[in-house]
Amino acid sequence: MTARARRGGGLSGTRGGIAVLASLLLIASGLAAGCRTHTRVIDSPFAADDEYPQLFWMFTLIEVPADADLPPLGSL
Amino acid sequence: MSAASVDELFRSINECPGARDVFCPAIVSAPGAPAAVELNSVDKAGASSGKFSIAATGWLDDRGLTIEVLLRGDLGDGCATGVREVGDGMALILVCPTAEGSATRALLVVRPKVVRTPNDAPVQRAGRAG
């Protein structure tokens, strides 16, 4: 038995692979919805063997006119 | 512009004259570990017109999810949320102040989701097209 198998790494790796696939599908869905995305992940320490829970960050960035009436910083 | 929900926020943005350039990146990170993504704004001719970077860190404890997000642009010094608790399914809005001489401000909607199992598949809801 490999060290990876002993620590359950095979199953964890499968889950990690699913998460990576979900990430790609998520980005693809954003593109399909009309987002013009030109991004480069510069620091994402997620690895295929990482355990759950994980944090999935969804960002939407919009440039608005400087005089637009915007909501204050806060949570919805 | 007012909003009581994420959907209403995006509807308000759709109605905001002059809003443009929607970017919808998504990244995955481990709790407590910083993650970052860099964005290049590209105009219709394909020329780069601006650069943004987002750095995000989230922590999980008994009280839930706490996050800190920093947005930087090439026109200003950037702005940050500070450390804030975010409820499940909630979004956080970050509006960067206007850099001197800039005609635009950057509005960032942050929607973190805790993925606890492989079946916790998140779904990106896009805003308006640029």
Q: Residue B58: which pLDDT band, with cuts at 50, 70 and 90?
A: very high
Instruction: Tell me how far apart the alpha carbons of residues B60 and B79 are, in angstroms, rounded to a whole number.
Output: 23
Q: Give the CA count within 13 Å in the CB-facing half-sphere of B44.
A: 3
**Residue A63 is assigned to a structural domain of this protein:** no
Q: Which residues of B touch A50 (CB under 8 A)?
A: 30
Instruction: State whether ipTM is beyond 0.85.
Output: no
**Residue A52 is assigned to a structural domain of this protein:** yes
Report yes or no on whether pTM surpasses 0.80.
no
Domain coordinates in residue numbering, chain B:
23-110
**Residue A2 is assigned to a structural domain of this protein:** yes
Measured in angstroms, the CA of B30 and the nearest CA of chain A are apart by 5
Q: Inter-chain contact A34–B126, Cβ cutoff 8 Å? A: yes
Range of the domain at A19: 1-58
Q: Calculate the CA B38 to chain-centre distance.
A: 12
Our count of domains for chain A comes to: 1
Question: Strand pairing of B92-95 and B104-115?
Answer: antiparallel
**Residue A40 is assigned to a structural domain of this protein:** yes
Question: Residue B130: is its pLDDT beyond 70?
Answer: no
Whole-number pLDDT of residue A67: 81
Q: Inter-chain contact B9–A71, Cβ cutoff 8 Å? A: yes
